[in-house]
Amino acid sequence: MPLKAILPHTYTHLTGEDRRRESIFKEKNCLEAELRSRLRRKKSKISNMSKRGILERLAEGVVIGDGGFVFALEKRGYVKAGPWTPEATVEHPEAVRQLHREFLRAGSDVMQTFTFYASDDKLDNRGNEAASKHSGAKINQAACEIAREVANEGDALVAGGICQTPSYLSGKTKAEVQQEFRKQLDVFIKNDVDFMICEYFEHVEEAEWAVEVCKEMGKPIAANLCIGPEGDMHGISTGECAVRLAKCGADIVGVNCHFDPFVSLEAIRLMKEALDKEGLKPYLMCQPLAYHTPDCNKQGFIDLPEFPFALEPRLSTRFDMHKYARQAYDLGVRYIGGCCGFEPYHIRAVAEELAEERGCKPKGSEKHGVWGSELRMHTKPWVRARARRNYWESLNPASGRPYCASMSKPAAWGITQGHKHLTQHTEATTTDELSELYSFKS
C-alpha cells in the first residue's frame, strides 16, 4: 500500500525541508543504480577480454547455440503471439534470465540477446504498444544486460541479434531499413556484445543490408536466412544467397527457423556446394525449428494451418536432435543450435551427441543418462528394458491421435515483400482488413 494511503495527512503536509530530503534520497537511489549498472558493464568487459571469441572457438571445434525464445516464452505466458516482440526483457526479466540459464546448463556456448523483432518499427506495428510503453532502446538494453549476466555465469559469449523489419516488407528504402538496424546496434555497441547474428531474413537483399550495417561495429558477423532448399522469397537460389552473404562480409553463414533440422540441412548442403564452387570459406551455421516440416512449401512453417498454436504433434524428440547434431557436424556445420520449438533438453541432446568432439558433457547431463541409461533404476521391468540406445534410436513415436493426418496442406498465399497485404502500419488491424483477408483465398 502506498505511503500516502497509510498516512494521508502526514504525507500531504510535508515541510519544504522534508520534500528536499525526499528528493535527495530519490536522486541518491538513482545514482546508486547507475553506478551498479556501470560496474556490471565494467566487470563484463574485463570478463570478455579473457574469453575466446566466436571465430577462435569455431576454428578449434564446434559451438553450440541456444534455442527458441519467443515460442518458449509465449507458452509460459510472457510473450504475445502475433507480434512476437521481446518486451519481456523489461516486463519479466526473471523469465528471460531463467530461460538463458537453462540453455547455458544444457550446453549452449552463446547467449543470444532476446532482441528478436526488437526494431522500433516492429515494436509499434499494428497496434503493438511495446514501443510507447518501454522504447526499443530500453528493451534492447535490458536484453543485453540479462544475456551478459548469464553468459558470465559460464564460459558463454553474448551475441546481439537483429532480424527482418516491417519497413522492408512495406517497401521502404535501404536507408530507412538500415536506420532501424542502427538504432538497435547503438545499444549493442554500448554493451560490447561479442559478435552479431543477423537472422530470420526471408530475403537475402535485406540480410545484406543488415550485414553492411553490422560491419560498422568491427565485430564478427553471422548471417542466417529463414529459407529452405527452394531459396528466398524473391526467387534467389539457396546457394546464391549464401555466396552473396559471404561476399558482403558475413563470417558465418547459414539458415534458421521456418524449417525442420533435416530440411534445413539440405539447404545448408546447397549453400556449401555454392560456397565451395566460389572458393568462399565462411563457417556454416544451422539453427532450425524443432518441428517436423516435410510438407512445408517455400514459405516454411508459418504457412502451415497449425501455425502457431497447434504445432505440438510435430515436435522433434531428443533423439531426433542427436541425429540432427551428427548430420550437421558431418556436413561441416560448426555452429549448431536451434530456433522455435527448441527447448533446453533439445540443446542438451545436441551437446551430448557432440560430447566427444567438445571434450565434455553439459551440466544438464548430471540428471540425464544418454540414450535412456537412467531407466535402469525404474521400478517396472518393461521400462528398464528400454535402457538402451537401439530402442530409442529405432522408435517411431505415435501421435496418439487416431484421425490426425500425417501431413498438412500449406496455405500457399504466394505473397511477399511489395504485396499490399504485407504493407505494415502502426494502427491496429481493422475488422475490414481482416474481412478482406478471410476472402483472399476462398
Q: Are residues 199 and 327 in the same domain?
A: yes
73 domain residue, yes or no: yes
Instruction: Give burial (CB, 10 Å; 0-12/13-18/19+) of 408.
Output: middle
E strand or H helix that includes residue 201 = strand 195-201
Task: Report yes or no on 40 lying in a domain.
Answer: no
Least trusted range by pLDDT, from 125-139, 157-171, 428-442: 428-442
Residues 313-324, mean pLDDT to the nearest whole number: 97
- Average pLDDT in the chain: 90
306 and 339: one domain?
A: yes
Q: Evaluate whether residue 431 is within a structural domain.
A: no
- Quick one: average pLDDT of 346-374? 96
- Asked if residue 377 and residue 337 are part of one domain, the reply reads no
Q: Are residues 232 and 377 in the same domain?
A: no
Within a domain: 289: yes
pLDDT at residue 344 above 90? yes
Asked if residue 151 belongs to a domain, the reply is: yes
Q: How many domains does the chain have?
A: 2
Q: What percent of the chain has pLDDT over 70?
A: 88
Residue 215 vs residue 33, higher pLDDT: 215
Residue 7 pLDDT greater than 50, yes or no: no
Q: Quote the pLDDT of residue 288.
A: 98
240 lies in the same domain as 387: no
41 pLDDT exceeds 60?
no
The annotated binding site for Zn(2+) is made up of: 257, 339-340
2 pLDDT more than 50: no
Same domain, residue pair 376 and 231:
no
Asked whether residue 159 falls in the same domain as residue 245, the answer is yes
Higher pLDDT, 426 or 209: 209
Asked whether 221 and 250 are in contact (CB, 8 A), the reply is: yes
Same domain for 257 and 391? no
Is residue 281 assigned to a domain? yes
Q: Do residue 326 and residue 375 come from a single domain? A: no
Shared-domain flag, residues 391 and 338? no
Whether residue 406 is contained in a domain is answered as: no
% of the chain beyond a pLDDT of 90? 77
Domain harbouring 68, CATH code: 3.20.20.330
pLDDT tens digits, residue range 54-65?
999 999 999 999
Q: 232-291, pLDDT tens digit by residue?
A: 999 999 999 999 999 999 999 999 999 999 999 999 999 999 999 999 999 999 999 999
CA distance 170 to 122: 12
**Residue-number span of the structural domain to which 380 is assigned:** 371-396
Average pLDDT over residues 135-147: 97
Same domain, residue pair 249 and 375 = no
Kindly state whether residues 117 and 226 are assigned to the same domain.
yes
239 located within any domain? yes
Per the annotation, binding residues are 257, 339-340
More confident residue, 297 or 39: 297
For residues 351-378, average pLDDT? 95
Angle, vertex CA 302, rays to CA 146 and CA 118, nearest 5: 30
pLDDT at residue 424 in the model:
74
Preceding peptide of 308 cis, ω within 30°: yes
Q: Which is nearest to 110 in space by CA: 95, 100, 99?
A: 100
Lowest mean pLDDT among 5-19, 150-164, 223-237, 244-258: 5-19
Indicate the residue among 334, 361, 388 that finishes a domain: 361
Which pLDDT score is estimated for 59? 98
pLDDT range class, residue 427, cuts 50, 70, 90:
confident
List phi, psi (to 5°) of 158.
Answer: -115, 125
d(CA 344, CA 346): 5
Write out pLDDT tens, residues 86-136: 999 999 999 999 999 999 999 999 999 999 999 999 998 788 888 889 999
pLDDT tops 70 at residue 49: no
> What is the model's pLDDT at position 441?
59
SS3 224: strand
